[in-house]
């Protein structure tokens, strides 16, 4: 990215974060439209399932985010509260202190950012920095306050399927026909947004892999991305390092560790791109950037 200078250790930079040059603020409408995008994950938490505690402060998170941009990430997804099964919620103040300084810095220097939050208060503060995408895992429990914010701000919003909270979602993974049920529940939740004045083009759909889903449900949803696409919105696939990949890659009867799931994640990225996904959300960016390029060539998109 032209607005980024050297990462410390690779050039003249001496500060704890990369040296930056100001860049024009960019948002959703500046993203490429001729290929599947890669969204890089930055979790500023102590308990996220694969990278909790890795970025203990804003400087570390910003540095990592800019590294992901250099590796080809189109969007950086910044979160300050773990939503892994069983994770305990954090206060609004803790989440705010974690994510807002990072988002402000990244937006200032031209990075397209999404804020991973279930709270309208955090999303609104993030939007004050610039044209941030809202990535909300609340699912069917999305608040009226969040819907009103999306309608009022015109922000792009990722509507993810989820039936419960971090504490309850696993018990709610019961479906008659998971693809049909997820599409129906997304359609019902979407209507709340449309009734509030949100424009259809503001919405992005996420099937919510791992959220109130068993492994078999995740695989079925991936095999039926076309049904999700029929809702008429871009589709985000967020499979990175999730439990169902670890269980597939068992070693000595135990699930593979999160970082051992990156190759499988890249395979999902390639297949999702080949099936027309708008974006893939991943921890390890370089492999998925290559996977998207392969899919693009394979399908003759370029």
Q: What is the pLDDT of residues 210-233, one digit of tens each?
A: 999 999 999 999 999 999 999 999
Q: Pick the residue with more confidence: 156 or 49?
A: 156
Q: Is residue 3 part of a domain?
A: no
Q: In the prediction, which pLDDT does 14 show? A: 37
In the block, tokens 């809202």 appear at 134
- Using DSSP's 3-state secondary structure scheme, residue 213 falls into coil
Q: Is residue 301 part of a domain?
A: no
- The answer to whether residues 278 and 269 touch, using CB atoms and an 8 Å cutoff, is no
Q: In the prediction, which pLDDT does 101 show? A: 96
Using alpha carbons only, what angle is made at residue 155 by residues 70 and 45, rounded to the nearest 5 degrees? 55
Is the pLDDT score of 237 beyond 50? Answer: yes
Tell me the pLDDT band of 57, cut-offs 50, 70 and 90.
confident
Is the pLDDT score of 155 beyond 80? Answer: yes
What sign for the dihedral angle of Cα 120, 121, 125, 126? negative
Q: Is residue 85 part of a domain?
A: yes
Q: Is residue 51 part of a domain?
A: yes
Q: Is residue 4 part of a domain?
A: no
Q: Is residue 93 part of a domain?
A: yes
Residue ranges making up the domain that contains 107: 28-296
In the block, tokens 């208060």 appear at 121
Tokens in use for 47? 């308990």
As separate numbers, helices (DSSP H) first and strands (DSSP E) second, the chain gives: 10, 8
Q: Is residue 16 part of a domain?
A: no
| Pick from 226, 236, 261: nearest CA to 247 | 261
Tokens in use for 142? 């999305």
- The answer to whether residues 233 and 225 touch, using CB atoms and an 8 Å cutoff, is no
- Using DSSP's 3-state secondary structure scheme, residue 76 falls into strand
The CATH number of the domain where 203 resides is what? Answer: 3.20.20.20
Q: Is residue 208 part of a domain?
A: yes
Distance separating alpha carbons of residues 289 and 287, to the nearest angstrom: 5
Q: Alpha-carbon dihedral of residues 138, 259, 106, 198, nearest 10 degrees?
A: -20
pLDDT in tens, 157-182: 999 999 977 677 778 889 999 999 99
The residues carrying an active-site annotation are 242, 281
Who's near 286: CB < 8 A, 6+ residues apart?
A: 71, 72
Distance separating alpha carbons of residues 155 and 149, to the nearest angstrom: 8
Q: How many domains does the chain have?
A: 1
What sign for the dihedral angle of Cα 298, 217, 38, 27? positive
- The answer to whether residues 183 and 231 touch, using CB atoms and an 8 Å cutoff, is yes
Distance separating alpha carbons of residues 160 and 39, to the nearest angstrom: 15
Q: In the prediction, which pLDDT does 32 show? A: 95
The number of CA neighbours under 13 Å toward the Cβ of 86 is 3
Report pTM. Answer: 0.89
Using alpha carbons only, what angle is made at residue 128 by residues 123 and 130, rounded to the nearest 5 degrees? 100
Distance separating alpha carbons of residues 239 and 148, to the nearest angstrom: 29
Q: In the prediction, which pLDDT does 234 show? A: 98
Distance separating alpha carbons of residues 62 and 66, to the nearest angstrom: 6
């Amino acid at each position: 990215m032209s607005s980024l200078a050297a990462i410390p250790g690779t050039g003249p930079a001496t500060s704890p974060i990369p040296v930056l040059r100001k860049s024009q603020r960019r948002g959703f409408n500046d993203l490429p439209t001729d290929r599947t995008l890669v969204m890089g994950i930055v979790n500023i938490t102590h308990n996220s399932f694969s990278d909790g505690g890795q970025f203990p402060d804003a400087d570390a998170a910003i540095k990592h985010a800019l590294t992901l941009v250099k590796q080809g990430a189109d969007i950086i997804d910044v979160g300050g509260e773990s939503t892994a099964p069983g994770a305990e919620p954090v206060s609004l103040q803790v989440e705010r202190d974690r994510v807002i300084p990072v988002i402000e810095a990244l937006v200032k220097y031209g990075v397209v950012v999404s804020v991973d939050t279930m709270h309208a208060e955090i999303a609104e503060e993030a939007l004050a920095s610039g044209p941030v995408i809202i990535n909300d895992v609340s699912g069917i429990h999305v608040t009226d306050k969040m819907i009103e914010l999306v309608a009022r701000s015109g922000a792009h919003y990722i509507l993810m399927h989820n039936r419960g909270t971090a504490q309850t979602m696993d018990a709610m993974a019961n479906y008659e026909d998971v693809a049909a049920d997820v599409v129906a529940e997304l359609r019902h939740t979407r209507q709340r947004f449309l009734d509030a004045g949100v424009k259809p083009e503001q919405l992005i759909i996420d099937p919510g892999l791992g959220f109130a889903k068993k492994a078999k449900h995740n695989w079925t949803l991936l095999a039926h991305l076309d049904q999700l696409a029929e809702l008429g919105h871009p589709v985000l696939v967020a499979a990175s390092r999730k439990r169902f990949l670890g269980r597939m890659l068992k070693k000595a009867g135990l699930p593979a560790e999160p970082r051992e799931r990156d190759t499988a994640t890249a395979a999902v990225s390639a297949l999702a791109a080949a099936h027309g996904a708008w974006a893939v959300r991943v921890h390890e960016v370089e492999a998925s950037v290559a996977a998207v390029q392969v899919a693009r060539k394979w399908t003759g998109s370029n």
